[in-house]
Structure 1
Amino acid sequence: MKKQQITLQAGLFLLVSLFWQSTAWAQVAQRYDVIPQPQKLTPQLGTFTLNQNTQFVLPAKQTQEYKVAADFLVNLVKSAAGYELKYAKPAAKVNQNTVAFVVDTTIPNDEGYKLEVTPKAITVKSRSPKGAFFALQTIRQLMPAEVESKTATKSFAIPAVAIEDAPRFGYRGVMLDVGRYFFPVNFLKKYLDLLAFYKINTFHMHLTEDAGWRMEIKKYPKLQSIAAWRDSTVVGHVSDKPRKYDGKRHGGFYTQKELKDLVKYAQDRFITIIPEIEMPGHSLAALAAYPELGCTPDTTYKVLTTWGIQKDIFCPHEATFTFLQDVLTEVMAVFPSKYIHIGGDEAPKDRWKKSPVAQGLIKKNNLQDEHGLQSYFIQRIEKFVNSKGRSIIGWDEILEGGLAPNATVMSWRGEAGGIAAAKQNHDVIMTPNTFMYLDYYQTPQKREVEPVAIGGLLPLEKVYSYNPIPASLTPAEAKHILGVQANVWNEYIGTFDHLQHMSFPRVCAMAEVGWTTPEKKSYPQFKDRLTQHVKHLEKLQVKFAPYFLTETATTLPANINQ
């Protein structure tokens, strides 16, 4: 009888223990609101408490590089809690209350990492400092949202967990159009901080436009004094009748010193900045400064004050190629990126059809037509860029007339251009307007409840649903898909608040598209994580679009300056 009682007690204890554990695990599992979703996440019991006694342990090799990664979290905690975490000696013995970094060459991906959080310590294993930095972004997201702002809190609980993670694609980018609206450097740094939060590794700066030239080119000072400024800007949508203008001078440019500082700032967040200098189209601002580069030099060109495709483009004079090579030489001295973006999109051929210079080049080089001349133009620029050890990227129009031999294509008019380029064994970055254009409206109500946008409809769920590998590609062709990019075109985005509203949380969805494998993705689960995760954005005072929080958008979010 006594033996039976003991057995019964043991059984009851086991049942209670199992119930407690399952409940605890369920509670723990709800705390892993990480974006993008890791490839493998195993919940554990307990928490690690990061406090002023926590020490960082760096590896003996690449110590300084790993410190760049670790400093990001050190500075975050210092800003929030007011104390500075200390570093132990490199490769010191891992004791209680440490965050230790370990170089692990068995991890195949430079951006991959293994993260183990126990109640005693945190261990970050990675092949490179870049992987360690991404692990720290995961840790940051696991921390209470209070870490994002000044707080009375002096310690931060991090749930125990084991994570093995690496991105699906090596290229995960966001393009910002600063050509139409100029954003000061301090705004760009805040934007880079947000991109780093979601493990985005590329920032594409669209620096030149019909409506403004934004980079200092020392050899051509009129680009600063003339091309960087417009006299007025259209108010509201260009389709509004009658069309109105604000009558205010707008513009600005980044000095090369400012851009070098921005490049360094991005590098410290393991982000590469790719510059874009548009050619042959979207060049009206440059023509306003140097009209001899156009096909109708007697025209008084003016920096564009409205939006839309312009017929005036660079004419293929020898002087034009000299100008562009000089410009690109200065661009490459500032931006160390492998890629230089040369645009190539939306270049009407009206002026070339009537230009003796353009028609003479077509005849001289046995080109089929003006599209063949654009191919000649791009290939000539590519040769120059390649001679400097760099590669070009162009929008998918560079396929027209024949693709430059080593060019990478950004497919924006749907996926057709990307598919064609991949089948020609060219590398591709998928950025189709149907899934990745963040200047589109976010709700069916559009202008009834949202700030003015260019048009279209791109809700959060549609961004999240995208798969950058088209089904029509063979496995060998699919290897040419380097990754994915979201584009923020700024015809109607003139303030930083508005920029944040259009970018977030759709950038969060794009980040998961680029990082997480399709079988790990679930929109309902993503939305649940996002609903909790935006507490971080709230503490950061990010003016994100809240439409996903309700079934139907009914009012314009507060504090969005149009």
Structure 2
Amino acid sequence: MRSFITYLLLFISLFQNILAQSIIPTPSNMVFCEYGEITLTPSSFICFDKKLEKSSNFLNDYCQQYYGVKFNQAERGNYNTNSLIRLKYSSKYKKDSYKLTVNQKGVFIEGSETGVFYGIQSLLQLMEPSKANENSFIVHFVTIYDSPRFTYRGIMLDVSRHFFSIDFIKKMIDYAAYHKLNYFQLHLCDDQGWRLEIKSYPRLTQIGAWRNGTIIGVYPGVGNDNKRYGGYYTQEQIKEIVKYAAERYITIIPEIEMPGHCLAALSAYPYLGCTHSNYQVSQIWGYSKDVLCVGNDSVFTFLEKVMNEVIQLFPSKFIHIGGDECPTDRWKQCPKCQARMKKERISTERGLQTYLTKRIENYLKKKGRKIIVWDETLDDDIKTDAYIMSWRGDGSSGCVKGTSTNHKVIMTPSYGFYLDYPQTAKEDSLVANWGGVTSVKKVYNFEPVVTSVNPKKLKYVIGAQVNVWTEYMNNPKKVEYMIFPRLSAMSEVVWSPKSERDWNKFKQRMQSQYKRYLLWNANYNPTDLDSE
């Protein structure tokens, strides 16, 4: 009999371990204090501190949406003393940190305001629908101490190359929340379309939001579909998106590209360019030689008015102003740009981009905002407080240069974190073909802290971000297919301690994650995780 009990306890322990090990991203520390489980039913109470109502609502909404179960809930002081789920705010926890305890008394999540929300994401992965009792959940005893490795954990969605509904953007925000990400960058404009309503400049959406065709196939393409394509978000829709994200402790970062990738804006207002020619919203991928005319004061009037409206819509302290892939061809031939160089004692055309970046940064600084730029901004040795997104290659060069000059750096390498690249060498769908394979394993093994960075400068590496460029993603299911399971792999890179990352254990955890994709009705790439 003693032997049977021993084996039973070992089995229970093993089952608990397997269930807890299904959490993605894996927590910092898990402790199994005792054997046992509790059952949560619709009559179970959620009680919460006042600061945590958003988290309580999220837990309830998730269970109702995916399981048809709704718990009772009440603010602390007005709840049933037998409540089984208790959410407690405590100032002793660092931002994003939490402790989750499940024992015979119930479920307890204690932490910072954001930490409790992330604790709920872990709890949802521990809740196993009961086979014996309909509309109830089994949760096994466990204690989790958890906090993120990096403060910046982001995803970017390009809505310029292809336009997506606000319902799908909300879905993407949910996916980010489930993976404990806290920043969501919206790439709102590019050569292929302007997507944000600016009331001071209505032609941006009347003209700039629409192109008269799209190339067929991989760039340079095998033709054009000659179909009018486009769309944009009203300011009211943007407010709705920002509010939805904030309820999930996610900050929406708007990206307004400048001075390159601006052909859609030039198509709406040709005077913003150097040639004032017959610009058209681009129907191909890549980038145009036509850029903003830095010698034209009207360009800065335009940018400042656009920024005035942007900062009213987005409370984020960060405004991304692009800065990548800006050719200088037009500036070399432009009398106004050459006059600007002479007046400001700028020695090269590349210095015009530095001039624009500093001028816009100073304008936004007065408004209490900070800028994020792509790493090309570092090429001219600019003196700026900008945060740098290091994207070229494996990101190491931009990271080393950025940190050496005390810039905060966000790693977003094209070779590792660009999710438009194929997931295997045998990819059978239309994908970006210029960056090689970005397998799930490659994403998982990426290390944001570059070894060549001066150890004294490591504090400037604040996190990482995956980018979803959508040249070859024209519908939500394709986006989901391209992000999953790579987003799950990335979440462990930015959240979990480096010491806890283990490829083989991650593959085991993914068996539960695939079931969650199905629960969310999310498409995903089913290729073997070891495929490269």
Q: TM-score range by the shorter chain?
A: over 0.9
Cα distance in 2 between the residues matched to 1:336 and 1:482 = 20
Instruction: Please state how far the C-alpha of 1:16 moved relative to its aligned partner.
Output: 4.5
Q: Quick one: distance in 1 between partners of 2:130 and 2:308?
A: 45
Displacement after TM superposition at 1:164 (Å)? 0.1
Report deviation, 1:531: 1.6
**Alpha-carbon separation, structure 1, partners of 2:282 and 2:128:** 47
Please name the residue that 2:507 is paired with.
527
Corresponding residue for residue 70 of structure 2: 84
For the pair 1:26 / 2:14, whether they are aligned, the reply is: yes
Alignment CA distance shift 1:85-1:245 (3 Å): same
Work out which of the residue numbers 6, 11, 24 in structure 2 matches 1:35: 24
Name the counterpart of 1:427.
408
1:324 — aligned with what?
303
TM-score (norm 1): 0.90
Match of 2:330 among 351, 354, 369: 351
Deviation at 1:95, TM superposition (A): 4.5
Task: State yes or no: 1:214 paired with 2:195.
Answer: yes
What's 2:38 paired with? Answer: 48
Measure, in 2, the Cα distance between the counterparts of 1:378 and 1:80. 46
What is the CA deviation profile of residues 407-426 of structure 1, one whole-angstrom value per residue up to 9, with x for unaligned ones?
11000003211210111011
Contact kept, 8 Å, 1:80 with 1:146, in 2: the verdict is no
Counterpart Cα distance in 1 of 2:111 and 2:103: 18
User: Structure 1 residues 323, 88: CA separation in 2 closer, same or farther (over 3 Å shift)?
Assistant: closer
Secondary structure of the structure 2 residue equivalent to 1:139:
helix
Q: Does 1:506 align with 2:486?
A: yes
Mean Cα displacement is larger for which, 197-206 or 412-421?
412-421
Q: Could you tell me whether the CA contact under 8 Å between 1:375 and 1:400 is conserved in 2?
A: no
What SS does the aligned partner of 1:377 have?
helix
1:313 aligns with 2:294: no
Residue 431 of structure 1 contacts residue 486 of structure 1 at CA under 8 Å; is this kept in 2? yes
Measure the CA separation in 2 of the matches of 1:113 and 1:179. 37
Structure 1 residue 94: Cα displacement? 8.0
Matched residues in 1 for 2:155 and 2:431: separation?
21
Larger Rg: 1
What is the CA–CA distance in structure 2 between the aligned matches of 1:93 and 1:309, rounded to whole Å?
58
Q: Could you tell me which residue of structure 2 aligns to residue 265 of structure 1?
A: 244
Q: Give the distance between the partners of 1:139 and 1:418, measured in 2 at CA.
A: 35
Which aligned pairs between 1:396-411 and structure 2 lie closer than 5 A? 396-411=375-390
Which of 150, 159, 170 is the aligned partner of 2:140?
Answer: 159
Q: Does the 8 A contact of 1:49 with 1:119 survive in 2?
A: no
CA distance in 2, matches of 1:80, 1:194: 14
C-alpha displacement of 1:528: 0.8
1:370 aligned partner:
349
Answer whether contact 2:129 2:138 (CA < 8 A) is retained. no
- Aligned-residue CA RMSD (Å): 1.8
Partner of 2:518: 538
TM-superposed deviation, 1:89: 4.9
Q: Does structure 2 retain, via aligned residues, the 8 Å contact 1:146–1:153? A: yes
Give distance in 2, aligned partners of 1:104 and 1:276: 35
Asked if residue 120 in structure 1 is aligned to residue 100 in structure 2, the reply is no
Q: Does 1:143 align with 2:127?
A: yes
Partner Cα distance (1:81, 1:547) in 2: 28
Match of 2:262 in 1: 283
Q: Return the alpha-carbon distance in structure 1 between the equivalents of residues 265 and 164 of structure 2.
A: 19
Question: Do residues 111 (structure 1) and 78 (structure 2) align?
Answer: no
Q: Which runs of 5+ in 1 are unaligned?
A: 1-11, 554-562
Q: C-alpha distance in 1, partners of 2:438/2:478?
A: 16
Deviation of the 1:361 alpha carbon: 1.2
| Counterpart-to-counterpart distance in 2, 1:93 and 1:260 | 33
Following TM superposition, the consecutive aligned residue runs of length 4 or more in structure 1 with deviations greater than 6 angstroms are: none
Structure 1 residue 334 corresponds to structure 2 residue 313: yes
Distance 1:502 1:132 in 2: 30
Letter of the structure 1 residue corresponding to residue 100 of structure 2: L
**Whole-angstrom distance in 2 between the partners of 1:362 and 1:541:** 55
Among 61, 64, 75, which residue is 1:75 paired with?
Answer: 61
* 154-163 or 170-179, which deviates more: 154-163
Q: String of CA shifts for 1:261-280, please: whole Å, max 9, x gaps.
A: 10000000110000000000
Compute the displacement of 1:49 (Å): 1.3
Question: What is the deviation of 1:77?
Answer: 2.1
CA–CA separation in structure 2 for the residues paired with 1:364 and 1:96: 74
1:534 deviation in Å? 1.3
Change (3 A) 1:268 1:467: same
Shift of 1:73: 1.0
Greater shift in the superposed pair: 206-215 or 45-54: 45-54
Letter paired with 1:217: I
Query: What's 2:216 paired with?
Result: 235
Q: Cα 1:276–1:146, aligned 2, differ >3 Å: closer, same or farther?
A: farther
CA contact (8 A) 2:218 2:430 kept: no
SS at match of 2:19: coil
Q: Which residue of 2 aligns with 1:464?
A: 444
Number of paired residues? 525
Q: 1:22 to 1:146 in 2, by over 3 A?
A: closer
CA distance in 2, matches of 1:95, 1:451: 56
Q: Write the distance in 2 (CA, Å) between the matches of 1:135 and 1:490.
A: 32
- Mapped to 2, the partners of 1:94 and 1:30 lie a distance apart of 33
1:252 to 231, 245, 267: 231
Contact preservation (8 Å) 1:460, 1:548:
no
User: Partners in 1 of 2:477 and 2:15 — Cα distance?
Assistant: 35
Question: Which amino acid is the alignment partner of residue 508 of structure 2?
Answer: D
How far apart, in 1, do the equivalents of 2:388 and 2:351 lie? Answer: 17
Paired residues of 2:129 and 2:135 also in contact (CA < 8 A): no
Q: Which residue of 2 aligns with 1:99?
A: 85
Aligned match for 2:370, one of 391, 395, 400: 391
Q: 2 CA distance for matches of 1:94 and 1:511?
A: 36
Say if 2:278 is the partner of 1:300. Answer: yes
- Cα distance in 1 between the residues matched to 2:261 and 2:489: 30
Provide the C-alpha distance between the structure 1 equivalents of 2:196 and 2:323, rounded to a whole number of angstroms: 19
> What displacement does 1:526 show?
0.5
Paired residue type of 1:185: I
State how far apart, in whole Å, the 2-side matches of 1:28 and 1:86 are.
Answer: 27
Identity %: 39
Partners of 1:146 and 1:232 in 2: CA distance: 52
CA–CA separation in structure 1 for the residues paired with 2:127 and 2:524: 20
> Per the alignment, in what secondary structure is the counterpart of residue 31 of structure 1?
helix
Listed one character per residue, the Cα deviations across residues 367-409 of structure 1 (whole Å, up to 9, x for unaligned) are: 1201111111100010001010000000001112232421110
**In 2, Cα distance between equivalents of 1:400 and 1:229:** 33
Q: Are 2:429 and 1:442 aligned?
A: no
CA distance in 2, matches of 1:395, 1:516: 26
Q: Secondary structure at the match of 2:242?
A: helix
Match of 1:556 in 2: none
